[in-house]
Amino acid sequence: MNYNDIKKGLLLMALIVSIFSWGQKLPVGPQVTTFYSDADDTEQPYGLYLPKNFDSNKKYPLVMMLHGAGSNHRLALKRVFGKSNEAGETDVEASRYFQNWSDVDYIVAAPLARGTMGYQGLTEKDVMDVLADVRKRFNIDEDRTYLTGLSMGGGGTLWIGLTHPDIWAAVAPVCPAPPPGTDELAANGLNIPFHFFHGDKDQAVPVAVSRDWTKKLKELGAQVEYVEYPGVNHNSWENAYKDGFIFDWFSKYKRNAYPNEVRFNTRNYQHSKAYWVSLDQLTPGTLATFVAQFTAPNTIDVTTSALGAFTLTLTHHPQYKPGQPLTVTIDGKKIKVTPSDQLSFRQEAGKWLNVKYEAAANAKKRGAEGPIAASFASRHVYVYGTSGNPDEEELKKRRELAEQAAAWSAYRGAFLGRLMFFPRVVSDKEIRPSDIESSNLILFGTKDTNLLIEKYSSQLPLELNPLATAGYGLFYTFPLNGHYVTINSGLPWWTVSKPQGFYSSPQLMLGGFTKDFVLYKEYSDTKVAEGHFDQNWNTSEADKKGLAASGVVTVKH
């Protein structure tokens, strides 16, 4: 067969696949579909609603709905349409079917987000992956994209709404239980309309949460509505979503993609862009605050704290007049600028200059900023060691330790259920080049017991002395090969002095590791030293002294 025959065959095959694809249409109404997750190479489900008269050529508004703890994507899709369980019906029974309900001219997506683990890290990525999948499949109006959720999902609505504020036209948290750190991001909601709902007898999430958030957002100048239901416990969603109210409320709003004023607070590069502002250089773990405002056409006033560089992208902003002089004042001082559609500034010796920040190759940046928990928020592989001539029993212990860390899907009881995440566990001899190229590596042991730790030893900043592995634990993350390498030497990170309740599993405990390294003795909550590496991933002098004083850690850089 010659080249032309092969080419014709490939074209025919492509035509057949194309015709077959055109014929594959999702049904209208409520259903479940999936997206491919590159975090663990699985198909992850999400609830989906398509209007009864769905037209693929029409642009639709989208509602993203986040479920609560102990719930799932199927129930979430029912809840947002005002459908509760029948009398005496359990959530398990209610998850088996979708009722008929009144049609709305919206596409609705409800991520599973792995189950009950909140909406930060890996599950935040899932929500954004579902959003991307829906946008890829359907013609979505990006100026009419909305976010809502209840309980844990209401907290996720606040977290994802405030860390990605320029996506949403409006957000509606119902009896929200926001994760730690959300309150310091309240200013990010300046340009988003909010609607809170809460029962005043809520025994799971105190009504004070919604009252305080409403007060705080109003004081910041945001548009906020709040409904409180007298005598209602933690089922306030039954009122909030009744009779399609939420769709009617969302219909009043379109996204303001170019607001006159942008306020944005963040502690990391992962969340460093909003509207026409990008924060280019900050200190991960330290709260950076930023306010930029057009006070007149081509006149911008900026106020910052804990920030080293930023960029303003002015193209399409109605207050920007191309080709005309620009006046920019930063922290009270006028800055000489070269007029441009995109203006970049960085601080040098305490002065702001109209100069673009270029990060050094080894500098902290998005995807290489820490903390420890960040290495578990995307694709990762657990690796146990085989070196040191272990006998069969010792090798089994090493493998079981890694398997315990990777057992996200272990059963946690009827309410918490399982987390639907399935990472791989391999030995240091089984790791493949593709794993190193595509994954964060979670390495157990020391350079004497793990071949990969030995391989990277000269590049790694810290080392637990072999004789200390019985009584101490060292847990830290470091960027190598374009990904994180995270080391757990000695005691595993889930060795605690007392039960942690909801956060008792190795996986759910990870959210508490908010720094780059931690050294602990006997228990991971008995910390000897912890901290962040500096902007170039070196150990500060103060941290070097603290770690050296322990007598069990070697600081190499």
Same domain? For 105 and 132 the reply is yes
Statement to judge: residues 86 and 226 lie in one domain: yes
Residue 363 covered by a domain: no
In a domain, 15, yes or no: no
Tell whether 330 and 447 lie within a shared domain: no
Question: Once rounded to an integer, what is the mean pLDDT over residues 324-348?
Answer: 96
Q: Structural domain tally of the chain?
A: 3
Residues 445 and 516 in one domain: yes
Tens digits of residue pLDDT in 527-555? 999 999 999 999 999 999 999 999 999 99
Last residue of a domain, one of 250, 275, 304: 250
More confident residue, 174 or 467: 174
Same domain, 277 and 401: no
288 and 219 housed in the same domain: no
pLDDT surpasses 70 at 125: yes
Residue 387 placed within a domain: yes
Are 528 and 388 in contact by the 8 Å Cβ rule? The answer is: no
The mean pLDDT value for 13-20 works out to 41
Q: For a pLDDT cut of 90, what percent of the chain falls above it?
A: 91
Same domain, yes or no: 326 and 427: no
Determine the Cα–Cα distance for residues 251 and 256; give it in Å rounded to an integer: 14
Residues 243 and 281 in one domain: no
pLDDT at residue 2 greater than cutoff 70: no
Last residue of a domain, one of 200, 221, 250: 250
Q: Is the pLDDT of residue 304 over 70?
A: yes
pLDDT of residue 271: 98
DSSP assignments along 104-157, one per residue: -SSEEEEE-TTSSS-SSTHHHHHHHHHHHHHHHHS-EEEEEEEEEEETHHHHHH
pLDDT of residue 7: 41
pLDDT tens digits, one per residue of 175-231? 999 999 999 999 999 999 999 999 999 999 999 999 999 999 999 999 999 999 999
16 falls within a domain:
no
Report the pLDDT averaged over residues 10-19.
42
Which pLDDT score, from 0 to 100, does residue 470 have?
A: 85
Question: How far from 417 is each of 41, 116, 411, 502, CA to CA, in Å?
Answer: 21, 7, 6, 12
Which residues span the domain enclosing 428? 372-555
pLDDT tier, 377 (very low <50, low <70, confident <90, very high otherwise): very high
Structure confidence by residue, pLDDT tens digits, 397-444: 999 999 999 999 999 999 999 999 999 999 999 999 999 999 999 999
Between the CA of residue 384 and those of 11, 403, 425, 520, what are the distances in Å?
47, 9, 8, 21
Write down the pLDDT at residue 502: 61
Q: What is the pLDDT, as a whole number, of residue 501?
A: 66
pLDDT at 23 over 50: no
- Report the pLDDT value the prediction gives residue 21, as an integer from 0 to 100: 39
Q: What distances in angstroms separate CA 315 from CA 188, 320, 334, 395, one per listed residue? A: 21, 7, 22, 59
Give yes or no: residues 398 and 475 share one domain. yes
**Is the pLDDT confidence value at 102 over 60?**
yes
Same domain, 307 and 385: no
> pLDDT digits over 126-158, tens only?
999 999 999 999 999 999 999 999 999 999 999
Final residue belonging to a domain, choices 250, 275, 290? 250
d(CA 83, CA 135): 26
Q: Read off the CATH number of the domain in which 216 is found.
A: 3.40.50.1820
pLDDT in tens, 352-371: 999 999 999 999 999 999 99
In a domain, 358, yes or no: no
Q: How confident is the model at residue 503 (pLDDT cuts 50, 70, 90)?
A: low
Tell me: pLDDT of 12 over 70. Answer: no
Asked if the structure places residue 318 within a domain, the reply is yes
Tokens describing residue 458 = 């000269």
Q: Are residues 201 and 302 in the same domain?
A: no
Asked if residue 1 has pLDDT above 80, the reply is no
Both tokens assigned to 495? 């060795």
User: How would you classify residue 440: left for phi > 0, otherwise alpha for psi between -120 and 50, otherwise beta?
Assistant: beta
In a domain, 366, yes or no: no
Mean pLDDT of the chain: 94
| Residue 21 domain-assigned (yes or no) | no
Q: CB within 8 A of 154, min separation 6: which ones?
A: 66, 68, 148, 173, 174, 175, 176, 177, 178, 205
Shared domain for 241 and 386, answered yes or no, is: no
